[in-house]
Every structure is written in C-alpha cells, then in structure tokens.
Amino acid sequence: MEPDLFMLYRQMLRSRLFEEAVMELWNEGRISGEMHLAIGEEAICPGVCTQLRDGDALALDHRGTPPLVMRGVSLVLLLKEFLGSPDGLCRGWGGHMHLFAPERLTASSGIVGAAGPTAVGFALAHQHLRAGAVAVAFFGDGAANQGMLMEAMNLASAWKLPAIFVCKDNQWAITTRSASVTGGDLVARAASFGMPAVEVDGMDAVAVWKTAATAIARARTGEGPSFIKGCCLRSEGHFLGDPLVRVARHPISEITEIAPPLIKAVGKFSGTTLAARAESLMKITELIGTTVKEQYLVKDDPLKRLRDTLGAQKKECEQIEEQCRREILQAVEDALPGR
C-alpha cells in the first residue's frame, strides 16, 4: 500500500501552520500555561492519524495539537480553547494540555505516561463494543520510563488489545537527554513485552505511514498491539520560551543572566572537586551546544522532506499551501475577530 502523498503533505502543513499561528498568539500573551508545540515531529502524527477511521481512538500527551488538527477537530474550537474562551473545545476548562474530543474518542493528559493506560482502556472498550477499531497512544522518549506506560504495554500484550504505541523520540525530556537516563534500547524494551516493535525514520512521513499501516492492520484484525518508535526533532524546544532555546537564539543576553550565579557557584570554596565542577559545566555547555545544533545546523525538516519528494508537482503543492494558509488565517480570524 502507498499513501496519498498530497493528503499527507496537506495534513503536515495544516499542523505546522496552525502551530505557527499558536506561537504568534502565545508571543502576544494571549495563551497561558506551558505551551508545547509539536513542530519537528509532523511526520509521525499524519503517518498514523491519516489512517484512522470513525470509532478509532487517540490518547495524547502534552503535545496533543497536531493529532486533533489531523482528525478534523474544528480549528476554531481549538484556538478558542487555547485562548481560554467559554466557546472553546472544552469551554476554557481544559486548555492546550487537556484537550478532549469525545466524538473522536480523543483524550489528552499532561501527566507523562498516561497515554499508555488510556489507549489500553480505549482498546479494551473497542474489543467489547467496536470490533475492528484501534486505539493509538502518542508519547515521548521520556515517557517510556514511566511505570504506568510500561505496565500498559504489558497489559495490551497480555490481553491482545488493538492498541498501537507510538513513541515520538526527540531525544529530550525537557532539558534531559533521554539517553542519559534510559537503560537499554526502547525498541527492545517494547519487544520484550511480546509485541512487534520497530524503529522507523520519524522524519519520513511515508515510512511512518507504511509502518503504521502494518500495525493498524494487525490491530484491526485482532492480532494485538504493536510499538513504533521514530526519531524526530524538537525545533521549538520543550515549550515556548524554553530557556535552552533562548540561550541558543539570544546567547549574549541570556548568558549574561545565567552565567554570574553559575560562576559564583562554581567558584565557591566548598563543593565537589575541580574536575567534577568542570564536568558539570561541560554538561551544561553540551546541552546548550546540542540545542544550538538543533536550532541552526540540523537543517532537516519533515515537511521540507516530503515537499522535496513531491518536487515536480509544484502546482498541486502550491495549491495545497495556499488552501492551508487561508484555512489557518480564517481560523484565527474566526477565533479572534479583528485581531
């Protein structure tokens, strides 16, 4: 099977443009709380979400916007929710970390790892009420160390539930490099629960689509759960205003704020050895360096990749681009008339 590339491109672009609009509103101070964008991981969501049908369910984490956009939830309702409006998707009670769309069986959670049990519960309900439907959990590499998520994978495997566990591995959990706190390999870990587990190029929407197609087919036919992991980028940092990204983007002003207390602390009489202090500073520098690299040197972008694949079909692409741009502009105008 081959995906419809235009459809994939359209969904990725809608998501990207929508989140860019959200970023603007956030900068204007109209959106409160920790705003997590999914820019950089757009290849993973549409690879899975565009294959879902009515009755299928989604369990999302704190980066839940794109799947909702791709599942056709009203952009205006989403925006109004982000703005805290009583007319928002959740009447302003949930906000961007707690998005709920019951008619799409889609639930979000700001508790890292909760997507696991939630997807398992949806899948269990499917087994009883909606044969052939699937439930997808989206979560990060950091979440993979959360006990309830591991328990959920075991439960799905033991009960042969139609669940698909999708790990969007951006290699970060806030400011922690996941590799530094994760023993072993996440694909092997998932496989050890007795389910097919594969690594896919998380920047390649087509590859994700194909891998997901296998997992979804398996789930629909009652053969049980699967695990998919794809590496992706975190272009906007952990959340908007991420201090590491700020340092990377505005090194001079930010470092003048961070450095003095740090230098003072390092220079204190008592503490650990000089070598260990140097190691600490190296580690911090390394994290900033990695962020700088991701900001300026890694030029990879899942959207650009797919656009390059579509290279020749310039007219169709431009038409999609124009339509998406108009759609998002209109949504913002509807949510915030006259802004």
Partner 1 sequence: MREMSFAGAIEDALAQAMAKDSRIVVMGEDVHMLRVNLFARFGKDRVRSTPISEAAFLGAAVAAAMAGLKPVAEIMMVDFIAVAVDALLNHAAKLERFSGGNWKAPVVVRTACGGGYGDGGQHEQCLWGWLAHIPGLAVVVPSTPADAGALMLSALEHDGPVVYLEHKLLADYWLDYLGAGGRKSVSFDVPAAGAKGPVPDQWESVPWGKAVIRKDGSDLTIASLGVSVHRASEAAEDLAKEGIAAEVIDLRSVAPLDIEAISDSVAKTARLMVVDEDYKEFGLSGEIAAQLLERGLSFRYGRVCTEDTVPYARHLEDEALPSRGRIVQAARTLMSQRKP
Ligand X SMILES: Cc1ncc(C[n+]2csc(CCOP(=O)(O)OP(=O)(O)O)c2C)c(N)n1
Q: Does 182 bind its own copies (CB under 8 A)?
A: yes
Q: Phi and psi for 139 in degrees, rounded to 5?
A: -155, 175
Tell me, what DSSP letter sits at residue 333?
A: H
Q: Does 185 bind its own copies (CB under 8 A)?
A: yes
Tell me the number of residues near ligand X by CB under 6 A. Answer: 15
Among 15, 157, 170, 211, binds its own copies (CB under 8 A): 157
Mention every residue, 6+ apart, whose C-beta is less than 8 A from residue 317. 6, 9, 307, 310
Q: Does 184 bind partner 1 (CB under 8 A)?
A: no
Residues 161-220 that bind Mg ion (CB under 5 A): 170, 172
Q: How far is CA 102 from the centre of its chain?
A: 20
Q: Does 122 bind partner 1 (CB under 8 A)?
A: yes
The binder of 191, among its own copies, partner 1, Mg ion, none, by C-beta within 5 to 8 A per type, is: its own copies
Residue 134 CB, nearest approach to its own copies (Å): 18
C-alpha closest to that of 11 among 72, 88, 87, 59:
72
Q: Residues 83, 335: contact at Cβ < 8 Å?
A: yes
Q: Which CB sits closer to partner 1, 217 or 284?
A: 284
The residue type found at 177 is R
Report residue 223 as tokens: 């053969």
Q: Does 150 bind its own copies (CB under 8 A)?
A: yes
Q: Does 89 bind ligand X (CB under 6 A)?
A: no
Q: Which CB sits closer to partner 1, 111 or 206?
A: 111
Q: Residues 125, 65: contact at Cβ < 8 Å?
A: no
Q: Which CB sits closer to ligand X, 33 or 110?
A: 110
Mention every residue, 6+ apart, whose C-beta is less than 8 A from residue 210. 1, 3
Q: Does 184 bind its own copies (CB under 8 A)?
A: yes
Separation of first and last alpha carbons in the chain: 44
Q: Does 191 bind its own copies (CB under 8 A)?
A: yes
Report residue 66 as tokens: 């794109």
The binder of 139, among Mg ion, partner 1, ligand X, none, by C-beta within 5 to 8 A per type, is: ligand X
x/- track of binding to its own copies for residues 292-311 (CB under 8 A):
--------------------
Q: Does 130 bind ligand X (CB under 6 A)?
A: no
Tell me the three state secondary structure of residue 213. helix
Tell me the window of 27-35, 175-183, 212-220, 278-286 that interacts with its own copies (CB under 8 A): 175-183
- 235 vs 267: CA distance, rounded Å: 34
- Which residues form the interface with ligand X (CB under 6 A)? 62-63, 110-112, 139-143, 170, 172-174, 238
